[in-house]
Amino acid sequence: MYKKVEGMDRILFTHSYFMRFDPKQWETGQPYPPLGTITAAALAREKGFRVALFDTMFIESPEEVMPWLEKERPDFFVIYDDGFNYLTKMCLTNMREAAYRMIRLAKREGCVVILSSSDSTDHYKDYLAQGADFVILGEGEETLLELVSTIRSGGQEFASVQGLAYMEKELVQRTPARKVMKDLDSLPLPAWDLVDIDSYRKIWLKHNGYFSLNISTTRGCPFKCNWCAKPIYGNRYHARSPRHVVRELLWLKEQYHFDHIWFCDDIFGLKPGWVNEFADLVEKEDLRLQFKIQSRADLLLQENYVRALARAGCDNSWMGAESGSQKILDAMDKGTRVEQIFEATRLLRQHGIKPSFFIQFGYPGETKEDIEMTIRMINELLPYSIGISVSYPLPGTVFYEKVKADLKEKANWTDSDELMIMFRNKYSPGFYKQLHRYVHKSYRSHMAFEQIRKLMARPAAITKASIKRAASAFWYLPAAYFAKLKLERYEKESKQLL
């Protein structure tokens, strides 16, 4: 039972991504503020709640929440993950355990504990068993606001609050799903003032030499790739207006002087005409942006779209290439073709935008020939950067249903670099870890030889940086050779185990 208390309006927000618990990301040094968290906090503050943020990004232990609980004395402790950041969608066990610990600490201090995350949506019963009072299912802002307002007014019935799971009489209750928001411009701008921006800036400058911030312009993705989990924003696609986005960019530029922006949408600018209008406004306001996006090969075939991206300041477009095998793309229900990846790469380069690839190995049915086709595609197209993963089944996907019988021993990675195949496959988990190493070294060696070719063609363009890149061939060529030998040993061992 929740007693009505006058002035029950203090909310301490946090999230469960501890960058120090994810060694690869900590070493890379590219942290982004918890955008989803501070958006929810901004809405709660607009509606009269007093809000604070315990940002776990650089924290060493969940125990560090205690001084915040003692200082803020919140009525509500809300673990609200950033649903825009792909790292939170991975549902890593390091972060889950940290969330469990914070739940217990907050309950000990008498808080009403509320969860909103991809992992808690998928595993709400487990989070309730750990002591959480409520788990928000799906998009969280409106559900959270209705829930805390109900409790503040003394309400005890929560069945009418859509998108919620909770315990009642020792039984788990789940209310009907809430529809996602359509009018994203109605949301206030994120509560950036709650974030210690300087701590983010320092790490970015130390590791990368520039400072990047994150913005979302859309929610959801209408495409049906059968391995992609969408527990928060789903398959409906809704966009902020270009003017609303530019307004935030102008404010951020004035306040924090960023050098670069990551538009963290699943698909940037899918709505017809959106990117062109955005580019017009960027030019009108003389924003001079440099940014990266995520898109699809088929969308990047539209030259007017790519031209507008370049005009707005797009520097790098990540596309879900996934595989160089059409058979695997079709098995994934990707809806794209290998030749589209080639053409999109050409078109991006033509307009001065760097193409980068997300690559996925290990999808069921993938053979050695499929793997070789993917490697050839990478080494022929030589994208600006590659992000390699292995197929990772998450609840709510067709892919998960296909392999869930194999997930009894392990169903989630510990951190984002674990890259373990958790279901029965053609090759062993060790093979895919070594494949990851080999593909990177092979790609780097090809990049180095491409640099040598350019230097020979245009010796007048030689710089210290270009010489360094060319010289890296002396490291990556033998490294790729020995990595391949090791990969072949794993391949033989895998065949013996089958």
Q: What is the pLDDT of residues 324-347, one digit of tens each?
A: 999 999 999 999 999 999 999 999
Between residues 7 and 250, which one has the greater pLDDT?
Answer: 250
Share of the chain above pLDDT 90, in %: 94
End-to-end CA distance of the chain: 56
> For the segment 415-426, what is each residue's pLDDT rounded down to a tens digit?
999 999 999 999
pLDDT value of residue 5: 54
Indicate the DSSP class of residue 190: P
- Distance between CA atoms of 241 and 394, rounded to whole angstroms? 32
For position 461, what pLDDT does the model report? Answer: 82
Domain ranges of the chain: 10-174
Question: Quick one: tokens of 268?
Answer: 């940037």
Compute the distance between CA of residue 362 and CA of residue 189 in angstroms, rounded to an integer. Answer: 40
Q: What is the DSSP letter of 12?
A: E
- For residue range 116-163, what is the model confidence (pLDDT) as tens digits? 999 999 999 999 999 999 999 999 999 999 999 999 999 989 999 999
Taking the C-alpha atoms of residue 277 and residue 237, their distance in angstroms, rounded to an integer, is: 18
Question: Rounded mean pLDDT of 299-308?
Answer: 97
Q: Is 277 exposed, middle or buried (0-12, 13-18, 19+ CB in 10 A)?
A: middle
417-to-25, 210, 421, 448 alpha-carbon distances in Å: 8, 24, 12, 25
Which CATH number fits the domain 10-174, given the four candidates 3.40.50.2300, 3.40.50.720, 3.90.1150.10, 3.90.1210.10?
Answer: 3.40.50.2300
Distances in whole angstroms, Cα of residue 309 to Cα of each of 211, 280, 285, 364? 21, 11, 16, 35
Plot region of 335 (φ>0 → left; ψ -120 to 50 → alpha; else → beta): left
Lowest model confidence (mean pLDDT) among 53-62, 168-177, 463-472? 463-472
Instruction: Return the sign of the alpha-carbon dihedral for residues 15, 19, 263, 379.
Output: negative
324: nearest Cα among 280, 274, 369? 369
Residue 105, pLDDT above cutoff 90: yes
Question: 483 — phi, psi (to 5°)?
Answer: -65, -35
Q: Mean pLDDT, the chain, as a whole number?
A: 96
CA gap 224, 239 in Å, rounded: 19
Query: Measured between alpha carbons, how far is 11 from 30 in angstroms, rounded to an integer?
Result: 28
Query: Which amino acid, residue 225?
Result: C
